[in-house]
Copies of this chain bind each other. A is one copy, B any other.
Amino acid sequence: MAKDCVLLAAVSLLSAAQQAYFAKQVGNARMKYKIAPPSVTGSADFERIFRAQQNSIEFYPLFLVVLWTSGLFFNEEVASVFGLIYLFGRHVYFTGYKESTMGRIPGFKIGISILLVLFILSFFGITTCIIDKYFDFNVIKKISKLFP
């Protein structure tokens, strides 16, 4: 069973490493801008890095949910590729936000677009699975019969 989701697991593990990297960046920024814990304000530069990480944390469980539901109910390879693009988008977001407030926008747009795509794939996959399981009607089979 584990074999059927190994790519999703690999993308998830990479995303966990990215989250750890972001957290480390905040720690480094605390040193650089001399913001002692528990404070999270006092320097606009620090606050941008902190908010960039906070925003990534906010979207992280949401990302994991759509990654796994699209991977399990639509297609594992497709979901994994989009997952990698999402992580790239988040990296662009973080490095952009670090530079300036406006710099967060390009990466943010990539991230949101990918989440939307994964959401739609999940929705499609889950819906066809529910119809198949509870109404005994296999949408995919019916469509493929139309094109023999």
Interface status of A37 (Cβ within 8 A of chain B): yes
Q: Which chain B positions have C-beta within 8 A of A53?
A: 58
Q: How far is the CA of A72 from the CA of B36 in the complex (A)?
A: 39
Chain B residues, CB < 8 A from A133: 3, 6
Chain multiplicity (copies)? 3
18 contacts between A and B (CB under 8 A): A1-B4, A2-B73, A3-B129, A6-B126, A9-B69, A10-B126, A13-B66, A13-B119, A16-B62, A16-B65, A16-B66, A17-B119, A37-B101, A37-B104, A39-B47, A57-B61, A61-B61, A64-B65
Residues of A whose CB lies within 8 Å of any CB of B are 1-4, 6-7, 9-10, 12-13, 15-17, 19-20, 23, 36-40, 44, 47-48, 50-53, 57-62, 64-66, 69, 72-73, 97, 101, 104, 115, 119, 122-123, 126, 129-130, 132-133
Q: A9-B126, A36-B101, A38-B44 are in contact. List 9 more A-B contacts (CB 8 A).
A: A2-B72, A3-B133, A6-B126, A16-B65, A17-B119, A38-B48, A57-B61, A60-B61, A64-B65
